[in-house]
Every structure is written in structure tokens, then in C-alpha cells.
Amino acid sequence: MSATPEPVPGTLTERELGALDAHWRAANYLAVGQIYLMANPLLREPLRPEHIKPRLLGHWGTSPGLNLVHTHLNRAVKSRELDAICVWGPGHGGPAVLANSWLEGSYTDTYRNVTRDAEGMARLFRQFSFPGGVPSHVAPETPGSVHEGGELGYALSHAYGAALDNPGLLVACVIGDGEAETGPLAASWHGNKYLDPVHDGAVLPILHVNGYKIANPAVLARLPGAELDALLRGYGHLPLYVTGDDPTAVHRAMAEAVDTALDRIAAIQYEARTDGSTRRPHWPMIVLRTPKGWTGPAEVDGVPVEGTWRAHQVPLDRVRDNPEHLAKLEAWLRSYHPEELFDEHGRPTDQVLACVPEGTRRLGANPHANGGLLLRDLPIRALERYAVPVDKPGSSLHEPTRILADLLADLMADTAERRDFRLVGPDETASNRLQAVYTATSKAWQADTLSVDEHLAHDGRVMEILSEHTCQGWLEGYLLTGRHGLFSCYEAFVHIVDSMVNQHIKWLRTTRRIPWRAPIASLNYLLTSHVWRQDHNGFSHQDPGFVDHVLNKSPEVVRVYFPPDANTLLAVADHVLRSRDYVNVVVAGKQPCFDWLALEEARAHCARGAGIWEWAGTEYGGEPDVVLACAGDVPTLEVLAAADLIRRHLPDLSLRVVNVVDLARLMPAGEHPHGMPDHEFDALFTRDRPVVFAYHGYPWLIHRLAYRRAVHPHLHVRGYKESGTTTTPFDMVVRNDIDRYRLVMDVIDRVPGLAVRAAAVRQEMTDRRTRHHAWIRGHGTDLPEVADWTWGG
């Protein structure tokens, strides 16, 4: 938006007031019509039961407030020529946002059959919450939406994410007073401490205090005014208040509040961009206090409705079979005077459209709300620049995420001018060995700094806040508006955003079926500090189950990768950062790890997703006697150590080693786009030979993915089984029976006829586990034969 400090007069003329009220009434009429009507959209005849939908679905209570906000944002956008979008936190107010999209014409531009006339109005009404129609929430199908809103708490973090690196954009954000009670929303108020008035756009929070949730009063609505004001000022905002139920007074107050807020934003940006001010600004916000279900039925069946929780959804719920309800609905609809708002063809009148902006300035047509239209490919440099040399497998060690950090640092440097890549995480960038990015950018920070602080700057593009919810919301808003990013997180605590990633996956799955939605950059997770190397933090930091959660979701959207070393992590990262419309989960270690594959080998292996490591096995032609499989860096280490033991102690055994990078490859081809056909799976794992699989996470996930395969009765999976504590690295794998000695024992137990021939070897493996337990309790470190092991194949 413009950074001019010149204020715009805030006094409405009578003509402007009439136009605003006409638009608002029209939007209210359309919102009610969507909830109730399937015919007779303009009330050209008396309302009859057959005009009413058989199932009444939708939310009226928040709709009039959202309509008011949309109407006044229209005025501001048009008069100031703003570039603006709005995040609608009360997403169940779908009737309001759909109504406004239809009024401004963006809905008809998107859906040509829903014309801006009586016929199109009838379609708009009938399709709402109707089989084969559109959802009742502000969904991906809604033009101008970047926020589903079905699950509350994420609106404000999405708004801040959208504003980052968008210096010309205003992001209005309506927050319901119920939504404001959630933990994610409470943390997201701190987004204003990260917003750079020079390089970022502005966020205008609008707290809609209408008093009630579904069945209870809202907490913020019952706070004394001074206490609410102190809370919002404590969050760093300068609140402006709009209160009342008289439309004329509220319109005048709302127009003044919007103008004042936008003047303050313009002044903040002017001071930062022109005068060079570096003080942390206190951004304006609006507190809008209007009745729930405003302008709806005051009472129904003798009980109050307007201004109470009863207005939340459908105030009149027996319209088809109760003549009194039907009459009340007709009176309610006619109270908006549709004959004044729509002409004889059902088109909005000039007065209704007087405040509506044109073209891409319309809230439903702004390209930032269809971010794929603005997306550019990332300038990722050739991987040869970062790859570690591997003359032979297991001859060197590197920290995979530290190697990746060099790629990310260059990516930050190469996007310094275009500013369309961000790294987010909950205070873990350095802990996850990614601190090389600080050579190219700093951490975003607008608050005070001390002499001991490092890597803090107003224009930093690393986002760190100790709220996984806020990190997720920022990144989602950033991606949805056409940029790229990476979320780095401790594996155990990414679960905090389980529900948020659900919603984003649903969004992506839906948009894939909407032709006008352009693909956006994938949501990429880098999960490190993982379960097997949290030996110092212990049980509380050990949980690999996020992968299970994600793989339950829409197969066409989700991808999970377990790169076992530095070069495979580079190959996977290159792929996911270039991808579109996926949720990619990459699980990789940050501790020193053996380098198994050279770069070209890593690329080929990652492209396959799963493959035989011939150099690690002892196959002598024909099918192997046993398959040792692995997925994850520590399981790969243990499998190769087990293979080394087998080569030395059981040299006649034909052993195949299979490594899996792309976990979805285990699924059948019909269940996931990356799934293997049966013949390919059988060639890799055999149909009837024992398979001992060491897996990074919970072992039953592998069984679930492979249960249809012919080899499944012969599949034995070792993985994490909730046996964690503060202990040595190797003791973690021993405690969970995924260690090299246990794997050798599993091979002996499962290869037919081997148990008797190899009894002495099995006994030795048991003895080594016993010796391990005694050693760590006496020395506090792992056995030298484990700590100093190297691949000798």
C-alpha cells in the first residue's frame, strides 16, 4: 500500500453513507438467502415452504459483521487504490464472503454460470451447503480466500505470513472473539514484533466482538473495556473501537476507524521507508462490537435470538413446517428492501456497487489470494557445490543438516532482492545445524536488542518464535500468497501442528480439483533432532509419529522422505523445494553420520525411492536368503553394522540390503502415486524370503503400508516402541530392539534352518548386548566396538 503520510478525510457524505448501507443490506440479504432459499430469490412472489431448502445449514450470527467489514474495506480499497486481501477468521461466515464475492463480480468471473442477475442469484442460493454445491465455510472454492476457517485459531498468523515480503499489500484480518480464545491465536498477536515496515506489508487486525460462541459467551466480550484495552495494548497494538447496533452510527464509526487505521499504517511505513525510523511501531487495530445475528429476528418462539448465542447458526429452523417461522423469514428478508438493491433483472444497483473496487483490486480477485499466479521458481544452485565426496561407502562422516545449511544460505543470498524464501522454526535454527543461513540473512526482529544478541535484524528472513503454531501459520500464509519456505523443527514437537497440517492438506487436495487455483509451493518440513539422537533430552523429546499422522492423509498431497546421509538429503531437499502443491516431510539427522552414497548415486537412489545397496549385501546369484531393509539414518547405520557382522560371522548367507528413502514406495500403486506395483515390490523384497526391516518410527506403520504384499507374512519390523530415556545413543537402539545385534539375531531366527547352524553366533550377539548394558553403566559411554565402528565391507 502507499506509504504517503497524508491522511484521507474520514467524514462520510450522505451519498457515501447511503451507498455503504445499500451494499451492506444487499450482502445481508444474500447471506440469508443462501442459508434458506432454493427458489424465489428476489421474493417476486409470497414465500412458500417449497421455496425453502429441506436442510438448513450455515452460520448467520457472524455474517452481518463480516458483511460490514467487507463493505468498508471496499470503500477504503477503492478510495485509496489499495492492494489488499482479507483473512476471514470466522470462516463459518461463508455466506457473507460468498455474498460479497457475488456482488463485486469476482464470483461470476470465476464461475461463469453463477451470473450477477436473478438466475445467478438463484444458483448462488441453491448451491450453498447443498449436495453438489459449495461448502458453508470460506473454503478454497471461494474467490479471494487464503484461509479455510473451519478450525479456529490460525487467521492472524496466516495474515502475517501473507504480509511478509509484500511491502505493497494490506492484509486485513477478521478475528472472531471465540477464535481469540485459542492458544494459536493468542501467540499470533506477537507477529507484529516481526513485521518489518520497510520490506513487509501491513496487517490490520479487526477483532469482531459479537458476544457469543456456539453456546457460550466469549471471554473477550465479557472483559471490562479497560481490561480488554490493556490486553490489546500490551500486545503492541493501538486499538480503535466501533460499537453499536444502529446501522447509521456504526457505518460512520467504522469508516472513521478504517480511515484512521490506514492513516496510521501509512505514517508508520513512511517513517520507516523514507525517514529511516527503526523504532518498533505500535500498529493499529479495530475492535468491532456489534450484536451477534445483527438485523436478524429479535426473538423466535418467545425467546431472544439477536444478540445471543441462538443466532449463531440458523435462527429460524422450522420454516418449512411452521407458518409463523415462514412469515418471520419473509419479513426478515424483506426488511433489507431487496427491491431497492437489485433491478428488475436481479442485478445489483449502481448504488450498491458504488463502493466496490474494480479489477484485481476487488478482494475476491486479488492475485495474492491465488498465490500460484505470482510464484517464481527458486534459484537453487547445482548440488555439486555442496555435495560431500564419497570415494567408498562409510569412509567419512558429516552432519547432514549442516551440509544442507550451505545450500540454504546460498538460496537466501540468491533471493535477497526478490525476497520470496523464508526459513521458519521454533528457536531451533542453530540447534538443527542450519546456522550457516546467518551468513546471508538474519533473524527477523523488531523489538529491543542487547549487546549479547546475535543475528537479529529488522529485515531478517529467518523467523523464530517458540510457537510451532505461529511458525506453521506464518509459513502457510507465505506459501498461499505465492512464496517459498522451509519449516525446521524438532521431530517430537512438530506434533503440535498436527491439526494445522490437516487443514493445509485438505486445502491442497481441494485446490487440485479447482482449475482456477494455480499450484503453490509445497509446505516442506525438515524434522531433525529426531527420536534416535535425543539421548540427552530423553523420553519427552522422543516421538517419531508425525509421519504416521501425515501418511493417513490424502495420498496425492503427502510425501515422506528418510534420506540416510548428507548427499541424499541434498537430493531430497532439491526435489521438495522445487515441488508444488505437496506437504513434504523430510526426516534427517543433525549428528555426524556416515556418508554412504556419492552425489550421483544419491540422486539415482532418491529418484527410485527405494533400492538395493549391492555393495552392502552378499548375494551370490538368485534370490537372497534374507533381506535386511532400512528407512532412516540410524536404522541404516544399524542395518549396515548388522550386515557387516553377518558378512564376517555368516559368510555363506546370501544377504540383500534394501534402503528406503521415499516411504510411500512401500504402498501399492493404486493407493499412492509413488506406490510400487506388486511385481516391482516383489523383485525388491522377494515374495517369500524373510525380511527384517529396521524403521525410524513406529514399526506398525510399515506393516500397515505393506500388508497387501505377498511377502508380508515374512515381514518383521523393528522400530521405536516407546522405550526412551536419557541415555547413550546406542543404548536408545538397544532399548528398542533395533540395534545391530538384535537384527543379526532376527536374521538367525527367521532364515529356515539357520537357528541350529548359527546358534553360537546368536549367543555371541546376546552376550554383546549384555556387555553393552554393563559398559554404559560403568563408563557412561557406548562400547568402543560401537562408538569406533566403521564400515568394512
Grid cell, residue 668, equals 501399492
1 has a pLDDT exceeding 90: no
pLDDT digits (tens, 9 = 90+) for 442-485: 999 999 999 999 999 999 999 999 999 999 999 999 999 999 99
Nearest to 314 by CA among 523, 95, 130, 515: 95
CA distance 41 to 23: 17
2 has a pLDDT exceeding 70: no
Average pLDDT, the chain: 95
3-state helix, strand, coil in the chain (%, to 5): 45, 15, 40
Q: Which residues have C-beta within 8 Å of that of residue 297, sequence separation ≥ 6?
A: 305, 306, 315, 316, 328, 332
745-751 CB contacts, 8 Å cutoff, 24+ apart:
746/692, 746/716, 746/718, 747/626, 747/628, 747/642, 747/646, 747/650, 747/653, 747/655, 747/690, 747/692, 748/650, 750/626, 750/690, 750/692, 750/714, 750/716, 751/625, 751/626, 751/653, 751/690
46 has a pLDDT exceeding 70: yes
Which segments within 24-105 are labelled E, that is strand?
83-88
Please give the average per-residue pLDDT across 541-562, as a whole number: 92
pLDDT confidence of 771, banded at 50, 70, 90? very high
535 has a pLDDT exceeding 80: no
Please give the average per-residue pLDDT across 30-45, as a whole number: 97
pLDDT digits (tens, 9 = 90+) for 52-109: 999 999 999 999 999 999 999 999 999 999 999 999 998 788 999 999 999 999 999 9
pLDDT digits (tens, 9 = 90+) for 599-623: 999 999 999 999 999 999 998 777 8
Please give the average per-residue pLDDT across 393-412, as a whole number: 97
DSSP 283: E
